[in-house]
Amino acid sequence: MSTAAVNPELVVWADKQALSQAKHVFAQLGAPVRAVPLESSMKLPDSRVFIFYLQGPEARTDLRSAIRILKSWKKTLDLIVFYTPHHASNLAFEAGMMVGREVGGSADWAFDLRGVRQLLRARNLLVIPDKAESETHSVDIAAIRKRLGLTQEQMAHALNVTTRTLQNWEKNVGVGQLLRKTRDLRELLELMDDYVSSAEEREWLQAPVGAFQNKRPIDLMAEGKLRDLIVEFQRLREGQPL
């Protein structure tokens, strides 16, 4: 990664009880994070990326606090995100409506960290490490499997390993071949991050794909056809329909 490429500071607003958790969540993006209490009357941080962490039973009270903050901000923001990990889309929709009505701008929403990463990348606000650098980090194969909705047997078949090997990997045992065996899987996940909205991923995984005799992506993965899906995404990158 170029030494000149620096991720911008992310200002994350949260209820004071959730500040530590919010900072921990967004630090995983690899950018500097400043967590600020929604109740704070301090001078607003000089940032162009605001993320509002709305969680818990007081989410709508926090939303009103967020709107007051935005009203007082006089500079142009590159990105406003309402992060609502444990709420239905109606809260995010309500946030967007309030921003448009009371602030006169627009905002995005995300239900998970991957959705935030997609929004930042789409606006060139997040520097992605070189592939060689990213591969030095461990692969959380259990989290990936759960994200894709696969059983251990299906994931093992997708990676062409035994179920026992996969079970060991999920316990961080015998992981010497993990990076090599998951190369196609990690490439596919990167393409999904680029082309499939986080909020729509579950639906996409279950939707029939005409190019594969109407099989679903989740079925193709379980059959070990990760490269076939990668090729389809590459066709999309070249301007051909997926």
Question: Cα angle vertex 190, ends 228, 204, to 5°?
Answer: 65
Residue owning tokens 């967020």: 66
DSSP string, 15-48: -GGGHHHHHHHHHTTTS-EEEEETT--SPPPS-S
- Span 10-122: which CATH code? 3.40.50.2300
Q: What is the pLDDT, as a whole number, of residue 152?
A: 96
Distance CA 51, CA 29 (A): 13
Query: Does this model's pTM top 0.75?
Result: no
The DSSP 8-state label assigned to residue 210 in this structure reads G
Q: Where are the domains of the chain?
A: 10-122, 132-237
Tell me the per-residue pLDDT of 22-72, one tens digit each, with 9 for 90 and over. Answer: 888 888 787 888 888 887 766 767 777 888 888 766 667 777 788 888 777
Distance CA 218, CA 154 (A): 9
The mean pLDDT values, 10 residues at a time, for the chain of 242 residues are 58 86 84 84 74 75 79 77 74 75 78 83 70 54 92 96 96 91 91 80 89 89 93 72 50
